[in-house]
Structure 1
């Protein structure tokens, strides 16, 4: 197989998870920030595509998620804003707004990546057992190779994160050390 074109998907790097006091913040979430910065910098240096996939909901409209979760990530709200230095920058970066866990569900992400000739995705962000797993599963279902760098994702449910990483590696793609994922983006 020839060298696949690789893109970086940063999932939910928003204030809700990373700003202390926000509704989805949890102890240890900050451990993924430096690994994600390393991935992002490798992608920026090489010109690889960076997709910022972030959850965003419409104000003043009902959303099916509210039947299971409290109202969150409303367009324009502080919890939905990109965290610190993780806002998109440069011409090789784009945003995909998602309303469910997967960055693929009801978005044009698969179409966009296919049009760009991408076949492999390095997926990083939060939470391993929810949005990362859903995105990896849908990446695989859409014909992309999902790669999850172990150090660039975590969860407030470590046992579920480990089970999800095992399933991703066994059934969908690969779970690799950070250095290997950086090399894929370089």
Structure 2
């Protein structure tokens, strides 16, 4: 049974073709390992009518973007990298929203914190890619904003496994809790 005294939301990070579709520049073969756990989390959150926030990369085509100083152009609005992985699109219900982001952290330059606070959310179950980049940046900012963080180990990974493992260790030690899929499903 879920603990409704501490409201929880599911934050899905970048479940987009850019990372999961073979042939796309950000694709890596192990990315698909997180899809089943992410699907289970999404199904449970919908079943329990939890807030689900789909945070997705959305860069503006043809305009300068500071992120592109470090990594190649990707996930421009309307390009072939930006679509959701099939079956992970937001559904039409009030508790499910898309939040576009232009930086690694879903909190930077967005209204995510305002949205969560308006809904009384205190705990975030976080899943998606990549552990050492967008996931870690989001977790770190969530911690700084005072949220309880549950990062689902089976529902995140990276094309740099050693950095993913180091990030999981740091997140568990300094920012939140790295939990099993089973623990996250119970919390939702």
TM-score normalized by the length of structure 1: 0.97
User: Which residue, 5, 8, 19 being the options, matches 1:6?
Assistant: 8
Q: Report the counterpart of residue 93 of structure 1 in structure 2.
A: 96
Q: Distance in 2 between matches of 1:146 and 1:115?
A: 18
Deviation at 1:78, TM superposition (A): 1.3
1:3 deviates by: 3.0
- Aligned-residue Cα RMSD (Å) equals 1.2
Matching residue of 2:161: 158
Which consecutive unaligned segments of at least 5 residues does structure 2 have? none
Q: Which structure 1 residue ranges, 5 or more long, are not aligned?
A: none
| TM superposition shift of 1:66 | 1.6
What residue number does 1:65 align with? 67
Per the alignment, residue 141 of structure 1 pairs with 144
CA distances 1:51-104 after superposition (whole Å, capped 9, x unpaired)? 000011011211111211111110001101111111100311001100010000
Q: How many residues are paired up?
A: 185
1:81 aligns with 2:83: yes
1: distance between equivalents of 2:5 and 2:156? 25
CA separation in 1, counterparts of 2:109 and 2:133?
17
Q: Secondary structure at the match of 1:79?
A: coil
Cα distance in 1 for partners of 2:58, 2:138 equals: 16
Q: Deviations over 1:157-181 (max 9, x none)?
A: 1111011011111111100110000
Structure 1 stretches of 4+ moved >4 Å:
none
- Classify 1:2/1:184 alpha carbon distance in 2 versus 1 (closer, same or farther; 3 Å): closer
| CA positional deviation for 1:2 | 7.7
Provide the secondary structure at the position in 1 that maps to 2:98. strand
